[in-house]
Structure 1
Amino acid sequence: MRFDTILAVDWSARNSPSPAKPTKDAIWIGIATREGAEEPVYLRTRAAAIDWIARRIDVERAAGRRILIGFDFAFCWPRGLARALTGRDEALALWDWLAARIEDADDNASNRFDVAEAINAALPGTGPFWSKSHRDRHPAIPYKDTRDGHGLPERRATDAGGAFPVWQLAGAGAVGSQSLLGVPRLAALRAGTGAQVWPFDTGGQVPEADVVIAEIYPGLFRDRVAAAIKTDEVPDRAQVRVTATHLSDLDRKGDLARLMDLSAAPREVVVEEGWVLGLPFEAPATPLRNDCFALPPGVDWTPVDVALDRLRAGLDPVAGIESVAADRAGGRILAEPVHAVRDNPNVANSAVDGYAFAFSEGPQDLALQSGRAAAGAPFDGTVAPGHALRILTGAAVPEGADTVVLQEDVTRDGDRLRFAAGLKRGRNIRPVAEDFAKGDTLLAAGHRLRAPDLALLAASGQARVHVRAPLRVAVMSTGDELGPDGTPDANRPMLLSLIERWGMQAIDLGIVPDRAEAVRAALDRGAEAQAILTTGGASAGDEDHVSATLRAADALTTWRIAVKPGRPLAMGLWRGVPVFGLPGNPVAALVCALIFARPALMRLAGADWTAPQGITLPAAFTKAKKPGRREYLRARIEDGAVHVYPSEGSGRIRGLSWAEGLCELPDGALDVTPGTPVTFLPYAAFDL
């Protein structure tokens, strides 16, 4: 756990002390520790609450414990206010500005409406603060929401889920007064204790200080509170009790550190507006630019590498983000970096079966101490000077020992152990964090998780990870000749299988007739996905309705790629969704899908750009290749050499199944004879 103690504070903006009898709309503090929950504390004034918290900080620090304190009011206002009042886009600058102006007496009397009125007067228009306790006071604060022209947003980014705007100062559900009176108190608490305020003091990183202050919103856990409230319990009491316990549970599972990592958040969140702890941050998907498939001016034939570079530069991830259990995340793409929750190993342990002792120079003659240390069953005691303890592989090294001698190197005579000199201090011990340390970055965003990665996640204590949702890819074939009574559709089953093999969600749009209205309707259905693959109709013929439909909507770029097989590749955006128009020939469709569609789709899915890794092997064939186009031949390996399918005809579908991969021949001319080095791209390089 990152924190030993967690406090959840329900703040209050009362103008006088709360009643002596515990009630709602007062200050309550929920407490959760490693040992469990404590009884919530009821406090009648803000001054008393801050004094109590300061004393609790002293107690926790004296015991060497780390404490997180969550307050249920907004730590700042929507972007723009800090700069308007302080000249700086920084929440903490606004904290100091307010601390110099807010007066909040020990009996809860305050001047918050005076300060809000002064802020309104300093800004253009009417507002932004509104609502007040007396209609006839503070004329610069509207009694009803008649604000206009003040130029500031209504909500912060973190409030988009429906929290009340922090501009409202009074009335049912209002939270503005809590912030005006809470922020100056926190500024003083921060100055007096050296606490870190998350995320302002941490730059969006997970805090390392022993005292951390964070904004919370117990409404996030409303269902938990409703399920846990006791008969006749004050709702506010139940709220802080459940919130503190739930945050502690998140910390125990390793999820709290993940929620505190705002490394992907923009500066206005991290520095100016803040974020509610417990609310996952998801970077909004970047919409594709209308010119993402545009070619450089004057380009006619596009070399393969140029086409791939253009795709790479023009595409960004569009798949959403979700949290999944780490042990069920195989094949998923990380949406954010993974950091270790624990050291590995988290205790120094033995690398061998042997005997643990305190190192000294020279040959050793030690007494065998009773007991032993085993993995999962540590020795409950200290190894005495001049003694050695039996220890097994993986067992925690007991106190009093710093070296382990291998059992094969020991001569045992009754209860005496002897072994020669030459052993070094610390030998045969795996030190703490030998593999990785808590907080280390283990895996980067964009990495597709494999089975070995799940082992790493488990070892690092990662219970859940943020991954990209599977990219939704719609697939359709076009052509009147296709169907039960005509030519079998070989492309669609092949492409649907590819999509699923790549960890994406395949959506079958079926066979579409060669009619413009049918193609348009199919594209409309496909636009509910995040990418569309079509085969056929991508050229410039009379019946090429895919390219014609995209062209009519001014959404087409025809790439004449210098590749064989393939060449014409239609690219476009239909209702903002990328369309990849592949050739209708099955061999060309597969080659273009592997070489062009796969890296583009993986990028849209949130993965790093993926180029297939080829191997160089001697050719077992003869071919005089002409310059101008890169060629991909169906190939397989026999006796360490690359053999190609006897026919290069694009209609020879049998060759796709015969092959084990593709033989890639370069753009220039090449005379291939047996023994000539060539590049072989195994199907496995394309995740097939």
Structure 2
Amino acid sequence: MKGFDTIVMVDWSSGNDTGPTPRKDAIWAGINRGGTAEDPVYLRNRQEAERWLPDLFEAEHSAGRRVLAGFDFPFGYPKGFAKALTGSADPLGLWDWFEKFVEDTPRQNNRFDLAGQINLDIGDGKGPFWFNGLQRDINGLSRTKDSYANPFPEKRQSEAQAKGAFTCWQMGGAGAVGGQVFTGLPVLARLRKRFEATVWPFEPLDGDLCFVEIWPSLTVGPNPEEVIKDAWQVSEVARQIAALKVEELAEILAVDAAEEGWIFGLGHEARIKGVPPLRNDCFALPPGVHWTPVDEALGMLQERLSPVTTTCRAALKDALGRVAAEDVAARRSNPPLPNTAVDGYGFAGGRPAGQHTLPLAQGRAAAGDAPAVLPEGQAIRVLTGAALPAGVDTVILQEDVIVEAGTVRFSGPVKAGANTRKAGEDITEGEVIVSQGRIIRAADLALMAATGVSEVTVRAPLRVGILSTGDELVEAGEVAADGQIFDANRPMLLGLMEQLGHEAVDLGRAPDNRDALRGILNKASARVDVILTSGGASAGDEDHVSALLSEAGAMDLWRIAVKPGRPLALGMWAGTPVFGLPGNPVAAMVCTLIFARPALAVLAGAPWQKPQGFDVPAAFSKSKKAGRREYLRARIRDGRAEVFASEGSGRISGLSWAEGLVELPEPAMQITDGDRVRFIPYGSFGIKA
């Protein structure tokens, strides 16, 4: 499906005109255009809203922007009502019926009288609607639910699943939505006809204007004290939907509810509300900063970034390699009961030195058997893993006993509790066994399964888009003209992302054309969670990545005191973080491992990841200047760190020759053969050598 350029979310009201001063219980609209939120719009009554909405839709259409508009009232009724009222089960025919019969002005409307008339026509005056909010009695509409008799289901299927959702039959009262349906559907019916809008889930959303039903309380938390709740909720819902990728939106919209309608996002709450926004200035450097030390750059990234991935429930078989989105607690102790660690014979208490003989009880205790009861003074055959029978707390190995004539004989001493395991000696019920942020490993699957955990809340894989830039690049295998080179960065970076556990998305190559690059970034921001570009990240005439991010008002060129590397363009594009890496493959890989890797881990929901280094003797000599932290391509041979013969950043062969990096700190130093240096193996970065 196609994505949406503009998200408009509307909190509706069936009440009277609320006056010129913004207040609660009015109509509020939240707009998010291209990932940028606008101030919520206050609309004092439905007539003003019906004037404002067409103007907005016309403007968006003229600008070529596709609009998703949400309204916070049901688009349909429980099954059977539409046909009983109109003769057809078509819910959009029901919209037309309401448009024909609802009378509405800023000060009053006929919703209560119309509800009473419907009750008389199809419910013998006892339902389905109830609640009269007027001072006068209305024939057919009770004030309370006392004499209520509903010939239809009490709730739609979606409302039955949405905890706290009100039935559409209640025409008034705190939280009720019945009046909003009566006053909202006529407006939507007129807008639908005027703009040829498509309505979810009754129609495919293939138009330029599409309507969906929302319930803000489904995904929006408490509002800040200084903000009106309705205004806060529509802005937040618009932001949440704008943050969804096209694939996520398509999955959420895949609903079959052709008559009753459905609440947008129901069943996908964690995915929708689990995506906090990154600040547009999260990469901003302090004023006056020209050269940033490596540790300061890493500290700023660690402090300013937060997870951008959504959450969902996953079965254990699908959880390997995923990031735990919350702590996982044991549902049962391990072991759940005291059991035997060996094959042997169990009895009560220890035995001193000397010979001992015990009567052998009938039967045995094997793994999986329900615990038996052992008579006092006897022994019983037990097999490894069996729950200890009541009356057994000690087990002797079968090799250490003689069984004859219904008895077991053995020599002491035998320590009380020998060869047994206590209940919960490994894990106790309720204990946290997997912490939030942990990347789930095979051993974690075993631990969760052993303690009764069958599924876990995990983060969706971080989708990392990889884009190469530059007219000089051609694909390996193509014909390269004079002055052109094969694109080495994209295959390398795609491979690195896969090894780091992210979902690598190939965004191809972008020419040195700013408009073309802008279009690629626009499409990419709708598909991925973060973008890694290589090339064009400095400040030259053809450095279009940094130039475009600067135009968007969300770019900082980090000149980092590192070799190889230095220029690193960091910014936001339509709410998506962008890492502009150097074009040189050696510098691109080093900057990815040192800076992008830990940042991507945080964006994916994992903790900040610092690589483990080891001090080893150097198998090289070097005179290092002061000022920059250097990373040399290196490998370990005979317990010593060798470095690649050339430090030239154009020597790509050194990347595959190496098995890790030697890190040299900022001060000047003279390294001679045998001096201790810090070696960071590729495995410490999470990649294979």
TM-score category of the 2 structures, normalised to the smaller one: 0.5 to 0.7
CA distance in 1, matches of 2:222, 2:462: 28
CA contact (8 A) 2:308 2:605 kept: yes
Letter in 1 for 2:333: D
Cα distance change of structure 1 residues 415 and 280 upon mapping to structure 2, 3 Å threshold: farther
Shift of 1:516: 1.1
Spell out, residue by residue over 1:235-254, the C-alpha distance to the aligned partner (whole angstroms, 9 max, x if none): xxxxxxxxxxxxxxxxxxxx
CA distance in 2, matches of 1:460, 1:164: 33
CA distance in 2, matches of 1:426, 1:268: 58
1:556 has 2:555 as partner: yes
CA contact (8 A) 1:534 1:582 kept: yes
Partner residue of 2:170?
Answer: 170
Cα distance change of structure 1 residues 385 and 554 upon mapping to structure 2, 3 Å threshold: same
Shift of 1:165: 5.3
CA contact (8 A) 2:324 2:439 kept: yes
CA distance in 2, matches of 1:607, 1:297: 30
Match of 1:460 among 446, 451, 466: 451
CA contact (8 A) 1:168 1:175 kept: no
Counterpart of 2:518 in 1: which secondary structure? helix
Shift of 1:160: 12
Partner residue of 2:519?
Answer: 521
Shift of 1:426: 2.5
Counterpart of 2:661 in 1: which secondary structure? strand
CA distance in 1, matches of 2:677, 2:304: 31
CA contact (8 A) 1:619 1:641 kept: yes
Cα distance change of structure 1 residues 140 and 578 upon mapping to structure 2, 3 Å threshold: farther
Partner residue of 2:329?
Answer: 339
CA distance in 1, matches of 2:648, 2:404: 80
Shift of 1:427: 2.4
CA contact (8 A) 1:339 1:442 kept: yes
Which 5+ residue runs of structure 2 have no aligned equivalent?
1-23, 26-106, 116-128, 142-157, 179-218, 230-265
Partner residue of 2:596?
Answer: 597
CA distance in 2, matches of 1:177, 1:562: 60
Match of 2:280 among 284, 290, 294: 290
Spell out, residue by residue over 1:238-290, the C-alpha distance to the aligned partner (whole angstroms, 9 max, x if none): xxxxxxxxxxxxxxxxxxxxxxxxxx996899xx9xxxx99965653110011
CA contact (8 A) 2:281 2:554 kept: no
Partner residue of 2:427?
Answer: 436
CA distance in 2, matches of 1:160, 1:604: 35
Letter in 1 for 2:416: R
CA distance in 2, matches of 1:177, 1:585: 60
CA distance in 2, matches of 1:177, 1:489: 58
CA distance in 2, matches of 1:600, 1:643: 29
Matches within 5 A, 1:254-269: none
Partner residue of 2:304?
Answer: 314
User: After the TM superposition, which of the residue ranges 336-345 and 409-418 deviates more from structure 2?
Assistant: 409-418
Cα distance change of structure 1 residues 608 and 543 upon mapping to structure 2, 3 Å threshold: same
Letter in 2 for 1:592: C
Partner residue of 2:644?
Answer: 645
Counterpart of 1:301 in 2: which secondary structure? coil
Partner residue of 2:63?
Answer: none
1:404 has 2:402 as partner: no
| TM-score after normalising by structure 1 | 0.62
1:474 has 2:468 as partner: no
Spell out, residue by residue over 1:429-483, the C-alpha distance to the aligned partner (whole angstroms, 9 max, x if none): 2111111112111111110011111111111111111111111111111111111
CA distance in 2, matches of 1:675, 1:414: 73
Partner residue of 1:357?
Answer: 347
CA contact (8 A) 1:587 1:652 kept: yes
Shift of 1:639: 0.1
Letter in 1 for 2:398: Q
Shift of 1:668: 1.2
CA contact (8 A) 2:298 2:595 kept: yes
Please tell me the root mean square deviation across aligned C-alpha atoms, in Å: 3.6
Partner residue of 1:329?
Answer: 319
Partner residue of 1:684?
Answer: 683
CA distance in 1, matches of 2:556, 2:411: 77
Shift of 1:170: 2.7
CA distance in 1, matches of 2:595, 2:585: 15
Cα distance change of structure 1 residues 552 and 138 upon mapping to structure 2, 3 Å threshold: same
Count of residue pairs brought into register by the alignment: 460
Cα distance change of structure 1 residues 352 and 165 upon mapping to structure 2, 3 Å threshold: closer
CA distance in 2, matches of 1:136, 1:289: 45
Partner residue of 1:614?
Answer: 613
Counterpart of 1:302 in 2: which secondary structure? coil
CA distance in 2, matches of 1:514, 1:650: 23
CA contact (8 A) 1:594 1:686 kept: yes
Spell out, residue by residue over 1:345-374, the C-alpha distance to the aligned partner (whole angstroms, 9 max, x if none): 112110112211122653532112232222
Which 5+ residue runs of structure 1 have no aligned equivalent?
1-79, 82-124, 145-157, 179-263
Match of 2:368 among 353, 372, 376: 376
CA distance in 2, matches of 1:161, 1:621: 67
Counterpart of 2:655 in 1: which secondary structure? helix
CA contact (8 A) 2:274 2:311 kept: no
Letter in 2 for 1:627: A
CA contact (8 A) 1:168 1:174 kept: no
Partner residue of 1:219?
Answer: none
Partner residue of 2:259?
Answer: none
| TM-score after normalising by structure 2 | 0.62
Cα distance change of structure 1 residues 311 and 449 upon mapping to structure 2, 3 Å threshold: same
1:494 has 2:492 as partner: yes
Letter in 2 for 1:519: L
Shift of 1:581: 0.3
Letter in 2 for 1:574: W
1:300 has 2:298 as partner: no
